[in-house]
Amino acid sequence: MGAKCVGFYFDKTVVKLFHVRLEIWQSILMGATVLWINAESSMLTRVVDSNRVLSRALFLNAKRTAQDLEGSRISIGSNK
């Protein structure tokens, strides 16, 4: 987690959008951007963790299936 310091420097002219100063809109958008970046990081961490768990489960399932097939070959060979 990192910290970011942001400073806004505007000229003396007052610009309004929907009767709200432009500086307010820009600060809200900057804060929303930080929230979206944190949410993206959290979701990416979840995707990587779930992929790791899924690949481990598939590996163990394939290993168990291979052991079952190997055991059936031994039993077929001993019946001859």
Structural domain span for residue 61: 52-80
- Residue 16 lies inside a defined structural domain of this protein: no
Q: What pLDDT sits at residue 80?
A: 47
- Residue 10 lies inside a defined structural domain of this protein: no
CA 60 → CA 38, 41, 44, 50, 70, distances in Å?
33, 29, 24, 15, 15
- The total domain count for the chain is 1
For 31, the enclosing helix (H) or strand (E) is helix 22-79
Per residue of the chain (80 residues), give pLDDT as tens.
556 666 666 666 777 877 878 778 888 888 898 899 999 999 999 999 999 999 999 998 888 887 777 766 554 444 44
- Residue 75 lies inside a defined structural domain of this protein: yes
- Residue 67 lies inside a defined structural domain of this protein: yes
- Residue 9 lies inside a defined structural domain of this protein: no
